[in-house]
Structure 1
Amino acid sequence: MITRDIAAFTAFAGSLAADFGPATARAAFLVSPDGFMRAEQSAQDNRYMADAGAFDTGAALREHHALHRALAQDVPVVCFPGDEATPDAVFPNNVFATARVDGEARLIVGRMRHEVRQREAGRRDIRGFFRDTLGYAEVDLSGQPHPCELTGALVIDRARGIGFCGLSERCDEAGAARMHEAFGLRATLMFDLAPGEYHTNVLLAVLAGRAVLVHAGGLQTPGLLPALEVLYPGGVVDLNGLEQAAFAGNAIALASGKVWMSRRAHDALRPATVEALAASGFAVHSVALTAIEAGGGSLRCCVAEVF
């Protein structure tokens, strides 16, 4: 099922067991912020991006190394080098993703909206690592015309095999359908993001199939919050505007009892938010990413999951 009908999606998704696959990734990969700078094309529709003077490549490299070390507490983490020709490559989850579909391990390559990011999809080292070293089949969406920026636009509950896809200039309905098929999902709900929002994953995070961080104000879909409360009873944590602006929605669980976000996001959390996460079995862990966040994304955007 792929639909805009929230009631139909909720009824179907609510009937599914959490037996689609592991709720969290078995590994992750990063791309180093070498040559990290403001990409003017990306800035056209990313309101979170800072002015060029706020970019500090040296600081971003130090933060990224600390991020690598921190995440490696939970899963093996591989880091590929960056490239001055692809200044946004520090956010690889928009371009590369993995899935297991009917027993087949897949590397999925997305179609980016902006040319500066389309260059990332051509990386032979990342493609070769998954194809030749790990034996993953390649599903290449990068050459078709419909934008589909993978787990930036599409937030996935891997345990149930369901997706929440926010539509914007970074992903249209046809692109959503291509991702739904590539990930082999059981159900995908499509909805519009609020004006000025570019990716779902700065507004919504599904944590190990048990809890959800969401900022309802960024979703032009009033019925989505009640639907999430049906699907994740007692596990929906509604972020306020200040928490979301600090990138608290751009979070990830790589282990069943930990949620990772940036230090800025962690510091912005209200006590009630921390308590709600704890009630769902999650302790908050964080890494300082001030320099990297100048690029318009945060911790979740830096992490490409390996399933």
Structure 2
Amino acid sequence: MLKEQTLTFAKPHNVQNANCVVMVPPKEFKFNAETAEDNEFQHQVDLTTQQIREKTMVEFKAMVASLRREGVQVVEFDYPLSDVETPDAVFPNNWFSTTIGGSLYTFPMACENRQHEVRPDALIEALTASGRHVTHQDSLEDYLSDNAHLESTGVMVIDHLNKTIYAALSQRCDREVLEDYAKRTGYGRVVSFQTALPSGHPIYHTNVMMAIGEGFCVICDEVIPEFERRFVLKSLAKDKQVISISIEQMNRFCGNILQLETVNGDKVIAMSQSAFDAFSPAQRAQLSSHGKLLPFDVRTIEDIGGGSVRCMLGEVFLPKRVNAL
């Protein structure tokens, strides 16, 4: 005789750090000419498409295996193919976000071929199979009709503990959409600012220049105009150890890191090997006080895609389903 099954949901242990991430295999990965128009971190390489995909798949699989060994839950989203290739699908954090209340948000992507990455139904199916529960869906994609964009946690670096969103404004981060998202999620404070690279162009994604953990922040503050820089740093320093990085370190993806939590509640900080090597010994020591450093060799993905480890991790804050018989 079957027993009645009751579903209950356990909230994540930590508000700032996810203990589960979505990762997408780079099965269509290649240089994306559309995104390269405003992403100065992308580079062409002398490899065939087949060689690129073989190398990036090795990098991806090694990163997934290592995270799982450390105790971070990884949901591999092996998305369904369509008629349009999605070369940047390996960077899922740009098109969705989740909350501890069970909400899934999808976002208006700036590049047309990246808009095809947005597959909420397939993602919900993968999350449900992994024991995570979506209770509410919301989309900001209607802003595409106004040519306004907001590329999720690519452009928003979020201090969940203080309900504050930090964002570098650009064509991928529209102020109106940003403030609408903050209103929908109840995050009452938005700190938006301008940036300028040596070329004079703005940073394409905030998460290449800064990262926020539970008790620290890494930031390339020299790309922020001085009158705004002081305000941003003062805001961060209220309860974070601020670790300032140079433009050269930013170019090695020192800002593109992410603090996570294991199933045992331990803190880890995911970053690329390039970033790990570019941090000074003193900076590595500072970061190590906030969690075990996990460097991953993703140099092919970095060079061609212009994004690094943090971009490859879509945080899952959704409640975990616990089956009770």
**Does the aligned pair in 2 maintain the 1:239–1:273 contact within 8 Å?**
no
**Which of 250, 258, 281 is the matching residue for 1:252?**
258
Counterparts of 1:90 and 1:253 in 2: how far apart (Å)?
Answer: 19
**Which of 283, 295, 307 is the matching residue for 1:273?**
283
Q: Which runs of 5+ in 1 are unaligned?
A: 1-20
Show the counterpart of 2:245: 239
**Does the aligned pair in 2 maintain the 1:74–1:254 contact within 8 Å?**
no
Larger Rg: 2
* Structure 2 letter corresponding to 1:41: E
Q: CA deviation at 1:86?
A: 0.7
**Which of 86, 98, 121 is the matching residue for 2:118?**
121
Q: 2:237 aligned with 1:230, yes or no?
A: yes
Counterparts of 2:151 and 2:184 in 1: how far apart (Å)?
Answer: 13
Counterparts of 2:270 and 2:299 in 1: how far apart (Å)?
Answer: 15
Q: 2:275 aligned with 1:282, yes or no?
A: no
Q: CA deviation at 1:284?
A: 1.9
Counterparts of 1:136 and 1:248 in 2: how far apart (Å)?
Answer: 35
| Structure 1 runs, 4 residues or longer, greater than 6 Å off | none
Show the counterpart of 1:59: 55
* Structure 2 letter corresponding to 1:120: E
Q: CA RMSD in A?
A: 2.2
Q: SS of the counterpart of 2:293? A: strand
Structure 1 pair 228/71, CA: closer, same or farther in 2 (3 Å)? farther
**Does the aligned pair in 2 maintain the 1:193–1:200 contact within 8 Å?**
no
Counterparts of 2:207 and 2:283 in 1: how far apart (Å)?
Answer: 18
* Structure 1 letter corresponding to 2:209: L
* Structure 2 letter corresponding to 1:167: L
**Does the aligned pair in 1 maintain the 2:23–2:90 contact within 8 Å?**
yes
**Does the aligned pair in 1 maintain the 2:106–2:120 contact within 8 Å?**
no
Counterparts of 1:136 and 1:64 in 2: how far apart (Å)?
Answer: 30
| 1:133-148 equivalence runs, <5 A | 134-145=133-144, 146-148=148-150
> Residue by residue, what CA displacement relative to the aligned partner does 1:38-84 show, whole Å, maximum 9, x if unpaired?
11111111110111535611110010011111222232111112547
Q: 2:183 aligned with 1:184, yes or no?
A: no
**Does the aligned pair in 2 maintain the 1:152–1:200 contact within 8 Å?**
yes
Equivalences, count = 282
**Does the aligned pair in 2 maintain the 1:107–1:130 contact within 8 Å?**
no
Show the counterpart of 1:262: 272
> Residue by residue, what CA displacement relative to the aligned partner does 1:79-122 show, whole Å, maximum 9, x if unpaired?
1125471111100000011013xxx3111101101111111114
Counterparts of 1:265 and 1:170 in 2: how far apart (Å)?
Answer: 24
Q: SS of the counterpart of 2:90? A: coil
Say which is worse superposed, 33-42 or 129-138, in terms of deviation.
129-138
Counterparts of 2:135 and 2:59 in 1: how far apart (Å)?
Answer: 30
Show the counterpart of 2:301: 292
Instruction: Give the TM-score of the pair, scaled to structure 2.
Output: 0.81
Show the counterpart of 2:174: 172
**Does the aligned pair in 2 maintain the 1:96–1:109 contact within 8 Å?**
yes
Counterparts of 1:79 and 1:229 in 2: how far apart (Å)?
Answer: 33
Show the counterpart of 2:212: 206
Q: CA deviation at 1:193?
A: 2.3
Counterparts of 1:71 and 1:124 in 2: how far apart (Å)?
Answer: 25
Q: CA deviation at 1:224?
A: 4.0
| 1:154-173 equivalence runs, <5 A | 154-173=156-175
* Structure 2 letter corresponding to 1:90: V
* Structure 2 letter corresponding to 1:173: R
> Residue by residue, what CA displacement relative to the aligned partner does 1:252-305 show, whole Å, maximum 9, x if unpaired?
011253211001111111112112223x43332211001111201000000000
Show the counterpart of 1:13: none
Say which is worse superposed, 164-173 or 130-139, in terms of deviation.
130-139
Counterparts of 1:61 and 1:137 in 2: how far apart (Å)?
Answer: 33
Overall identity of the aligned pairs, in %: 27
**Which of 3, 26, 30 is the matching residue for 1:37?**
30
* Structure 2 letter corresponding to 1:165: A
Say which is worse superposed, 65-74 or 126-135, in terms of deviation.
126-135
Q: Which runs of 5+ in 2 are unaligned?
A: 1-13, 318-325
Q: SS of the counterpart of 1:165? A: strand
Q: SS of the counterpart of 1:201? A: helix
